[in-house]
Amino acid sequence: MYCPRCQTTLLRATRLEDGLVGESCQSCQGALVGLAHYRDWAERAPLPQDAEAGAPAADVQPVPDGQRALRCPKCSRLMSRYRIGHGVSNALDLCPACDEAWLDGGEWRLLRALQLSRHVPRIFTQVWQHRIRAEQQAQTARERLRQQLGEEDAAKTQALREWLQGHPKRNLILQWLNRP
């Protein structure tokens, strides 16, 4: 099997963690991981010391993302890309036919730093992907507001919006604000 990214380098068996093997590329450090095997490992492996609970580690180093769509090294089908989220632009590639995931070089380390290394299959769900899109849209909207109003007024508007959300007299306040 050749590396789906480099295409000329043969993949070799590698160990991502104790008890978790995959096949990796010596040249780009990417790795192919079978999800059946992964689930088995994730269920059995003891939790790491740095704990999975709580906020992601603060020292998340950016990892370059491959961008280009890949073909599965096993069956040559186009792999689907799934955004990781959590503020990084990286995406994992998945072949739904083979149930194999491709991680670009450094992305396993990234998943660990984001406390997601034990929850990889979650990334491949619609719920996860929808949430990332919604977060992104909200981010874009806030950015646009900042450009239109300036930093200070945009912050005030955002605070007002948050205060109004869930306020029992929300409509009354809105009517009052719109009063001529």
Residue ranges that bind Zn ion, judged by CB under 5 A: 3, 5-6, 9, 25, 27-28, 72, 74-75, 95, 97-98
Comparing CB distances to Zn ion, the nearer of 6 and 42 is 6
- The least CB distance from residue 128 to Zn ion, in Å, is 21
Q: Are 43 and 109 in contact (CB under 8 A)?
A: no
Tokens 């806030």 belong to which residue?
142
Q: Are 16 and 6 in contact (CB under 8 A)?
A: no
Comparing CB distances to Zn ion, the nearer of 25 and 116 is 25
- The least CB distance from residue 96 to Zn ion, in Å, is 8
- The least CB distance from residue 178 to Zn ion, in Å, is 56
Q: Are 30 and 10 in contact (CB under 8 A)?
A: no
Sign of CA dihedral 133, 138, 143, 144: positive
| Interaxial angle between packed helices 170-178 and 151-164, expressed in degrees from 0 to 180 and rounded to the nearest 10 | 140
Comparing CB distances to Zn ion, the nearer of 124 and 132 is 124
- The least CB distance from residue 17 to Zn ion, in Å, is 20
- The least CB distance from residue 48 to Zn ion, in Å, is 27
Backbone angles phi, psi at 89, to 5 degrees: -90, -5
Q: What angle do CA 30, 54, 62 make, to 5 degrees?
A: 35
Comparing CB distances to Zn ion, the nearer of 9 and 14 is 9
- Compute and round to an integer the Cα radius of gyration of the chain: 21
Comparing CB distances to Zn ion, the nearer of 7 and 140 is 7
